Amino acid sequence: MVKMSEESEEAHPPNNNEVVKEDVKLQFHLYILIFGLIFYCSWVVPGICFFWYVIQFFLPYVLETPNFFNLFTQLGPLIVFLLMPLVLIGCYLLHLFFLGLTTRIFWRISEKITPSKSGIIPRNIRSRAANAYHIRSFIIKYGKNSFTKGAFPWLSNWFFNFVGSNKIGKGTKLEESVGNDKFINIGRNCYIGVNSTLASHLIQGIFGNISYFKINGFNC
């Protein structure tokens, strides 16, 4: 038995160059922290502005008015009442701006640590490229859904250009899709229809490698 074992070892010598494979370490605490900061920073200024308007103007002029008909017969309560929709829209636009600004900050930090590059990213070994890919994919999702599924979807081009995840030319329209959110350079006057995906990243199976290549330089 010992002899057979020694012969087996000689027939199959150990490969010292073999890559040791490990599971990817999912940093859920980092994802939760980033999402919490983006969510908080995008709402704190609009929230302060909205509650300031409610406390200073809407509450005394509208909610505490002694006579309901004063809302339509007195100039002050009428103006405050009619301005409420505009205040809501303004606060919502402020939210979108600070959402883009906060996402841009985290995106730029991740790009400084590990710049985006075209290539194959393995998911079964630990690497900075894989961590950066997953973090950036997480960072962009909240802003992408807020813009493309929000009240002003045409502002999504501004969001992607401002954050720096995409470069989208003037007059180009990207409809809602599972992709179209990063590593894409699109020219002017293009139309990408609903569920048409510009896939800069494809995954080979559930836990397979990530093919990550920039879509660059086409015009319509």
Q: DSSP string covering 152-186, please?
A: -GGGHHHHHHHHTSEEE-TT-EE-S-SS-SSSEEE
Mean model confidence pLDDT for the chain: 81
Which pTM does this prediction carry? Answer: 0.79
Report d(CA 180, CA 44) in Å as an integer: 29
* Distance in Å from the first CA to the final CA of the chain: 72
Is residue 92 domain-resident? yes
Is residue 2 domain-resident? no
Is residue 104 domain-resident? yes
Is residue 20 domain-resident? no
Is residue 6 domain-resident? no
Chain segment 155-210, per-residue pLDDT in tens: 999 999 999 888 888 888 887 777 777 878 888 888 877 777 676 666 665 566 77
Is residue 168 domain-resident? yes
Is residue 83 domain-resident? yes
152 pLDDT tier (thresholds 50, 70, 90): very high
Is residue 121 domain-resident? yes
- Given a contact cutoff of 8 angstroms between Cβ atoms, the answer to whether 147 and 164 are in contact is no
- Write out the residue range of the structural domain in which residue 129 sits: 29-218
Number of domains in the chain: 1
